[in-house]
Amino acid sequence: MLWIPGPTEVRPEILAELARPTIGHRTPGMAELHERIDPPLNNAFGLGAGTTSQVAVHSTTGTGMMEASLRGAGERILSVVNGAFSKRFMQVAESLGKEVHVLEVAWGMGVLPEDLAAALENEGPFDAVTLVANETSTGVRTPLGPIGEVMRQHEDTHLLVDVVSYIAGMPVDFDTNGLDFAFAGVQKAFALPPGIAVFCASERYLERARSVSDRGFFLDPVRTLEGHINRKTPVTPAIPHYNALARQLEDIDAGVTLPEGERDKKGADAWRARFEKHERMRERTLSWASGHGLEPFPGEGFRSATVSCVSAGDLDIAGFVAGLKERGFEISNGYGDLKGRTFRIGHMGDHMESDLEVLLAAADSVISELSERAPA
């Protein structure tokens, strides 16, 4: 069973959606799929009635959407870098020839609003800020509310946010938090197979993006979004994945994926209950770690509800990961420089708290086996 920080386990009902007969993408059937996807996708991004922001789907990955978001942005970019994926976002900006300024933040921490404000004031003006809301490499979640407050003081600077391992596990609240562009591959907390991405753009982002020249074709955010709205995707989309997305969004919206006893919750209430489940799973994972004398890697206030990154202390991580694998559970070693120093458990998607207990019991047995084997 996959407990890595994505991709994560996909329910059999969802896998079955991939096996539906193929339909043409210029057909009423495809338009219907779009109609099924949009309302619950609005809920995933936390859009209220009367929003002017727009959601869409693209047949690309999280990294593809990093590039798409920047293709509609201006030239001067401030990149917040606090882990491997935010560094990638910055590198994508550089690869597009943008003028990139880096706001370096210690791995394990999220950017502090006052540091962001200082960078915007002292080094600005910027056309856009790039931010990874949930650094999958470190299990760091950056609270978006205070970031949005800072951005409100800089009306001409757009906020581009990677919500890859965040959305469907924590509340995006796109408009309330002042986001201009947010995107995700679907293989993380949506619990879908990898292959497509979802995104949301504000009206003002789109307005500016339309005036940006040389946005390319496949990753042009305006062309993609307009194609979605007009039910005429510019390219042949990954249709089986649209089927899976529609079903999973409807199921989440209908409370189907919630723990028993909560399945009467619908719409925004069902999404909130999903986020609360992930919060409880984080608490449980970290209290289990603490029981073994292990500390969370992220600082207080920055601990993700979808990925727990734990400092390993004296634990032999390679042995721990291998022992779990022998028992049928996959978790991840630390990312990049954190390999051998941390391990990560992805308690995202449709995993239940009861499943987590089974994983943690297996983890207990691996740890006691390792300590028996360790030289006295």
Ligand X SMILES: Cc1ncc(COP(=O)(O)O)c(C=O)c1O
Judged by the rule CB under 6 A, the positions of this chain that interact with ligand X are 6, 61-63, 85, 132, 136, 162, 164-165, 185
CA atoms of 2 and 351, how far apart (whole Å): 9
Q: How far is the CB of 47 from ligand X (least distance, A)?
A: 21
- Tell me whether residue 194 or residue 319 sits nearer to ligand X (CB atom): 194
- The residue assigned the tokens 């946005």 is 215
Q: Whose Cβ is closer to ligand X: residue 198's or residue 222's?
A: 198
Q: How far is the CB of 63 from ligand X (least distance, A)?
A: 3
CB of 69 to ligand X, least distance (A): 11
- Closest to ligand X by CB, 59 or 165: 165
Angle at which helix 353-373 crosses helix 267-291, to 10 degrees, equals: 20
Determine contact, residues 48/189, Cβ cutoff 8 Å. no
Closest approach of ligand X to the CB of residue 309, in Å: 12
Q: How far is the CB of 211 from ligand X (least distance, A)?
A: 27
Nearer to ligand X, 62 or 72 (CB): 62
CB of 214 to ligand X, least distance (A): 23
Q: Compute the least distance from the CB of residue 164 to ligand X, in Å.
A: 4
- 17 or 162, CB closer to ligand X? 162
Alpha-carbon gap, residue 116 to 148, rounded angstroms: 11
Q: Are 165 and 33 in contact (CB under 8 A)?
A: no
**Based on CB atoms, which residue is closest to ligand X, 62 or 169?**
62
Cα 341 from Cα 360, distance rounded (Å): 19
Nearer to ligand X, 79 or 258 (CB): 79
Closer CB to ligand X, residue 71 or residue 154?
71
Closer to ligand X by Cβ: residue 91 or 176: 91
Residue 9 contacts residue 237 (beta carbons within 8 Å):
no
Q: Closest residue (Cβ) to ligand X?
A: 62
Shortest gap between Cβ of 368 and ligand X (angstroms)?
Answer: 32
In the complex, the smallest distance separating the C-beta of residue 318 from ligand X, rounded to whole angstroms, is: 21
**What does the alpha-carbon distance between residue 372 and residue 8 come to, in Å, rounded to a whole number?**
31
